[in-house]
Structure 1
Amino acid sequence: MRDRVRRVAHRIDAATPPGRDRSVDALRAVAVLGVVLGHWLVTALVADGGRLRTASPLQHLPELAPISWLFQTLAVFFLVGGHVATRSHATAQAEGTAYHRWLTARLSRLFKPVAALLVLWTAVTTALLLSGTDVTTVRTLAKLALSPLWFLLVFAALTAATPLVARLNPLWPLAVVLHVDLLRFGFGAPPAVGWVNLAAGWLVPYSLGAAWTRGELDRPRAGWVLFVGGTAATAGLVAWAGYPASMVGVPGASVSNLDPPTLAAVTFGLGQCGLALLLRERLRRTMRRPLAWAAVAFVNLSAMTIFLWHQTALMATTATGLPFGPLPGLHTPPDHLGWVAARLLWLPAFALTLGLCWAAFHVYESGRPRARSRVVRSRRAADRATPTGARHV
Structure 2
Amino acid sequence: MRDRTAWKAPTPSRLRTAAHRVAAATQAERDRAVDALRAFAILGVVLGHWLVTALVADGGALRTASPLRFMPWLAPVSWVFQTLAVFFLVGGHVATKGLASARARGAPYGQWLRARLDRLFRPVAALVTLWTVAACSLLAAGADTGTVHTLVKLALSPLWFLLVFAALTAATPLLSRLNPLWPLAVVLHVDLIRFGLGGPAWLGWLNLPAGWLVPYTLGAAWTRGELDGRRAGRVLLAGGAAATAGLVAWAGYPASMVGVPGAPVSNLDPPTLAAVTFGLAQCGLALLLRAPLRRALRRPSVWAAVALVNLAALTIFLWHQTALMATTATGLFAGRLPGLHTLPDDLGWAAARLAWLPVFALALTVCAAAFRVLEQGRDRRPPRLVRSHRPEAARTPGPRVDA
Structure 1: which 4+ aligned runs deviate by more than 4 Å? 369-375, 389-393
| 1:242 equivalenced with 2:252 (yes/no) | yes
**Per-residue deviation, residues 125-175 of structure 1 (Å, max 9, x unmatched):** 011000000000000000000000000000000000101111100000000
User: Contact between 1:18 and 1:390, CA under 8 Å: does it hold in 2?
Assistant: no
| Aligned amino acid, residue 13 of structure 1 | A
Cα deviation for residue 382 of structure 1 reads 6.3
Of 116, 125, 128, the residue aligned with 1:115 is: 125
| 1:218 equivalenced with 2:231 (yes/no) | no
Against the structure 1 CA distance between its residues 371 and 341, is the aligned structure 2 distance closer, same or farther, given a 3 Å change threshold? Answer: farther
Cα deviation for residue 274 of structure 1 reads 0.1
Unaligned runs of 5+ in 1: none
Cα deviation for residue 221 of structure 1 reads 0.3
Alignment-derived partner of residue 7 in structure 2: none
- How well do the aligned residues superpose, as a CA RMSD in angstroms? 1.7
C-alpha separation in 2, matches of 1:332 and 1:372: 47
Of 138, 159, 163, the residue aligned with 2:148 is: 138
The residue matched to 2:55 in structure 1 has which SS? strand
User: Contact between 1:21 and 1:390, CA under 8 Å: does it hold in 2?
Assistant: no
Alignment-derived partner of residue 167 in structure 2: 157
| 1:338 equivalenced with 2:348 (yes/no) | yes
C-alpha separation in 2, matches of 1:82 and 1:190: 31
C-alpha separation in 2, matches of 1:188 and 1:78: 30
The residue matched to 1:102 in structure 2 has which SS? helix
Alignment-derived partner of residue 30 in structure 2: 20
Of 272, 284, 288, the residue aligned with 1:278 is: 288
Cα deviation for residue 376 of structure 1 reads 1.7
Cα deviation for residue 370 of structure 1 reads 4.2
Alignment-derived partner of residue 192 in structure 2: 182
**Per-residue deviation, residues 153-212 of structure 1 (Å, max 9, x unmatched):** 000000001011111000000000000000100111110000000000000000000000
Cα deviation for residue 333 of structure 1 reads 0.3
User: Contact between 1:17 and 1:382, CA under 8 Å: does it hold in 2?
Assistant: no
User: Contact between 1:363 and 1:369, CA under 8 Å: does it hold in 2?
Assistant: no
| 1:366 equivalenced with 2:376 (yes/no) | yes
The residue matched to 1:47 in structure 2 has which SS? strand
- Normalized against structure 1, the TM-score is what? 0.96
C-alpha separation in 2, matches of 1:134 and 1:241: 41
Of 11, 15, 21, the residue aligned with 2:21 is: 11
C-alpha separation in 2, matches of 1:27 and 1:178: 27
Against the structure 1 CA distance between its residues 21 and 320, is the aligned structure 2 distance closer, same or farther, given a 3 Å change threshold? Answer: same
User: Contact between 2:307 and 2:401, CA under 8 Å: does it hold in 1?
Assistant: no
Against the structure 1 CA distance between its residues 259 and 371, is the aligned structure 2 distance closer, same or farther, given a 3 Å change threshold? Answer: farther
Question: What is the aligned-residue identity percentage?
Answer: 73
Alignment-derived partner of residue 326 in structure 2: 316
User: Contact between 1:56 and 1:334, CA under 8 Å: does it hold in 2?
Assistant: yes
C-alpha separation in 1, matches of 2:62 and 2:133: 19
| Aligned amino acid, residue 181 of structure 2 | L
Alignment-derived partner of residue 47 in structure 2: 37
